[in-house]
Structure 1
Amino acid sequence: MYLHLQKLIHPIETDEPDPAAANALQEGLGGQFGEMRTMMQYLFQSMNFRGDPAAQPYKDLIQGVGTEEISHVELIGTTISRLLDGSPAYQGKKDDPVDKPGDKGATPLSIALDHSNIHHYLVGAQGALPVDAAGNPWSGSYVYNSGNLVLDLLYNLMLESTGRLQKCRIYEMTDNKTARSTIAYLIVRDQAHENAYAKALESLGVSWGKVLPIPKTNAERFPEVKRLVDLGLQSVQYTFDADEKSQAAKLYRGASPSNDGTELSTALMPEGSPLEMAPERREEFAPGLDAELLSLIQATAEIELAEANDPS
């Protein structure tokens, strides 16, 4: 069973809306190496896990990481929504009141025609979608669950390494604080998960480093990443086990495979950050056509009709 707290796993910084950055982040959400993939892959591996009681630490480790990935989906999806929310006003002409439907003929959602993913406006009402940055729907065929523990752990290590590499690229694509605060956190947590699967492989006698080295991204040069690394966030793994029966600590301990001089440790869960509800977006007819909005639309239509019929 899972419990949900009304908190985000990490705070999201406030900045201007940025629909282009939102679309880049879609790759980190619904792409082949995104958070939806890691969430589903690890949860399916843990649900289908086979073995005797001695294998319990491996199941607990995979399930703990998979549970954390649910919160990463929530975090990156909320970030995309905040980058999109109110974006019709972003980069618009200063003399063009695009946030006022019908005012002087302005079109509220005109930005959707020439900024990134139009589906963010047509389908998602300025919210995240289960797609990649090119708009391709997320696919369950991404999920790898072979039933062989060593193969699954190797694949998971590769998945986390590739995901971190992509997030470093996304970070370099934008200087938006909202986007970077989330990207930096996910870069560091991907490294923690790399450490998890690397340690598990080592315990099975697999010399993974000779075949699949953790890529050296030097992400610590990003200030937001360095701040989190200095806190040791790359060397702790959460169990999300309210009963405190997880045996993941039997694996996630000792010197970090990242060779950064830190020691690995486990914890129940992070403190979290307040989760706020997004405001209504009238130009998207969200959450719905209420009486006030219908009245506004009617009044706007009457004004525009009068202006159209005015010969002067």
Structure 2
Amino acid sequence: MYFHVQQLINPIVQDEPDPAAANALQEGLGGQFGEMRTMIQYLFQSINFRGASAKPYRDLIQGIGTEEISHVELIGTTIARLLDGSPSYSGKKGDPVDEPGAGGAVPLQIALDEGNIHHYLVGAQGALPVDAAGNPWSGSYVYNSGNLVLDLLYNLMLESTGRLQKCRLYEMTANKTARSTISYLIVRDQAHENGYAKALETLGVNWRTALPIPKTNAERFPEVKRLVDLGLQSKQYTFDLTAESEAGRIFQGASPSNDGTDLDASEQAPDGVPSEIAPERPEEFSPGADAELRKLIEAAAALELADIDMTFGALK
């Protein structure tokens, strides 16, 4: 079972809207080596896992796959923030939204000038399950061979390629909103590389001769350096409410990155940051919920949280 904590796994820094950066980030979400791919691939590998004696490997793959769900949420929310850039409708409240705003501005003019027009035509200024060229995400990307060594090798390659692409994304934009998320994902990709590399080492696989972790020198990016200095590349979370994960039996010892750190899988989850819902956009015909419906939503959420606390205890 999976539970959702209504927090983002990492802060998203505020900056100006940037539809072009949003479209580039779609590759990191719905591309062949994006977060949707890693999420589905690792979850299917853990679901299909066989062999009780190898449970620590299943737990490692499952824990990383669970974290990838939060990465999909993070990068998708970042794309939506970057797209939330059509000029605020500046006509009088109650005016028809198909009339121009003050000064003759067209509310969604920005959709015709930059980025992927589908973000506005069909996505309502939000992320889509596509790559940067607009190709739909495909389940054919998923690799699940049933062979543990092959799966781990493929996962290591997937994380390495994903980190390489995110370093390119970082250098494609100076937007602080985009870079705050890209930097976090670069460092967490490295942590996942370390996990899969360590797992291969415990199986006697000399992966370094065939597939070394690429040296991207991403520490020169200031946002990345701050996270590396905190040791985030050497942590792996269990996301396990019942304390039954055995991933720590693998994710331990000296880091395969040879950066002088030790791997640590003792934490259940990061603290997270508040997840704020974006304001309504009248040019997208988004009226939202009325006051009465909001009260019902809040009451239902409070009951769900109370039930989770009663069953599993408060999250650490």
Q: TM-score range by the shorter chain?
A: 0.7 to 0.9
| Inter-partner Cα distance in structure 2 for 1:129 and 1:249 | 35
| Inter-partner Cα distance in structure 1 for 2:80 and 2:101 | 25
Render the CA deviation track for 1:12-70: whole Å, top value 9, x for unaligned.
1011111111111100000000000000000000000011x220000000000000000
Contact (CA 8 Å) 1:239, 1:268: kept in 2 or not? yes
After superposition, residues 204-223 of structure 1 pair within 5 angstroms as 204-223=203-222
2:173 is equivalent to residue 182 of structure 1: no
Render the CA deviation track for 1:139-171: whole Å, top value 9, x for unaligned.
000000000000000000000000000000000
CA drift at 1:104: 4.6
| Inter-partner Cα distance in structure 1 for 2:101 and 2:65 | 47
Contact (CA 8 Å) 1:18, 1:87: kept in 2 or not? no
Q: 1:239 to 1:286 in 2, by over 3 A?
A: same
Contact (CA 8 Å) 1:46, 1:63: kept in 2 or not? yes
CA drift at 1:102: 4.5
* Corresponding residue number in structure 2 for 1:285: 285
| Inter-partner Cα distance in structure 2 for 1:78 and 1:279 | 13
| Inter-partner Cα distance in structure 2 for 1:272 and 1:288 | 26
* Corresponding residue number in structure 1 for 2:242: 243
Letter in 2 for 1:161: S
Q: 1:103 to 1:256 in 2, by over 3 A?
A: same
Letter in 2 for 1:30: G
* Corresponding residue number in structure 2 for 1:160: 159
How many residues are paired up? 281
The higher radius of gyration belongs to: 1
2:36 is equivalent to residue 36 of structure 1: yes
Letter in 2 for 1:155: Y
| Inter-partner Cα distance in structure 1 for 2:289 and 2:276 | 23
Structure 1-normalised TM-score? 0.87
After superposition, residues 89-168 of structure 1 pair within 5 angstroms as 101-168=100-167
Letter in 2 for 1:45: Q
Structure 2-normalised TM-score? 0.86
Consecutive aligned runs of 4 or more in structure 1 exceeding 6 Å deviation: none
* Corresponding residue number in structure 2 for 1:50: 50
* Corresponding residue number in structure 2 for 1:20: 20
Letter in 1 for 2:212: P
Q: 1:55 to 1:289 in 2, by over 3 A?
A: closer
* Corresponding residue number in structure 2 for 1:3: 3
Letter in 2 for 1:24: A
Structure 2: runs of 5+ lacking an equivalent: 89-96, 291-316
| Inter-partner Cα distance in structure 1 for 2:149 and 2:276 | 41
Q: 1:127 to 1:264 in 2, by over 3 A?
A: same
Identity across matched positions, percent: 80
Contact (CA 8 Å) 1:88, 1:112: kept in 2 or not? no
Q: 1:288 to 1:100 in 2, by over 3 A?
A: farther
The Cα RMSD (Å) is: 1.7
Structure 1: runs of 5+ lacking an equivalent: 90-97, 291-312
Letter in 1 for 2:282: R
